[in-house]
Amino acid sequence: MAWTTAQDVVDAWIGVDAPTDDFLLDLWIGKAEREIRFRVPDLQARIDAEAELIPPVIDLQDAAVDVTVSMVTRVFRNPEGIRQTNSTTGPFTESATYGGDLPGGLVLTGDELAKLQGVRTHGAFTIDMIPSTSPFSSAYVPFAGWL
């Protein structure tokens, strides 16, 4: 089941040169969604489970659309996979550097993968080292004495 449409990519596009070839967009959307399903095999089942709730929840499906749009946008913004470009005219130089491990590649970033896997990043847990028999413990109950 496809989550993303070509219009989703066009609507999210920032700046000029938005892609106009819906066939090509659909082709790359399909590739991106297959990569997502490969990396997060239970994603569709979790999306379906959210949709069956009353009222239906579409947060995970929206996240899947957002990630797919981001992946496809990276490919369309830098289809040649160029790391850095420089252009010099007279005394003026213009340069652009593309980030990421694979610029222009159809890849999931760690943050995108975490969004889809439901990984929550929390701080470390704590263990109360004060015994419950200590008067400094929040669970302290005074000893009533021997009965």
- The pLDDT value recorded for residue 134 is 80
pTM over 0.75: no
What is the arithmetic mean of pLDDT over 26-54?
93
Cα angle vertex 65, ends 64, 71, to 5°? 90
Domain interval for residue 56: 6-117
57 within domain boundaries: yes
Other Cβ atoms closer than 10 A to 15:
6
Between 11 and 83, where is the model more confident?
11
Sign of CA dihedral 10, 22, 76, 60: positive
From CA 106, how far away is CA 25, in angstroms rounded?
Answer: 13
144 within domain boundaries: no
- The pLDDT value recorded for residue 121 is 56
Q: Nearest CA to 81 among 100, 66, 94?
A: 100
From CA 109, how far away is CA 22, in angstroms rounded?
Answer: 25
53 within domain boundaries: yes
- Cα dihedral value 34, 30, 62, 73, nearest 10: 110
From CA 105, how far away is CA 8, in angstroms rounded?
Answer: 19
94 within domain boundaries: yes
- The pLDDT value recorded for residue 81 is 76
Check pLDDT > 60 for residue 147: no
Q: How many domains does the chain have?
A: 1
Between 70 and 133, where is the model more confident?
70
- The pLDDT value recorded for residue 3 is 92
127 within domain boundaries: no
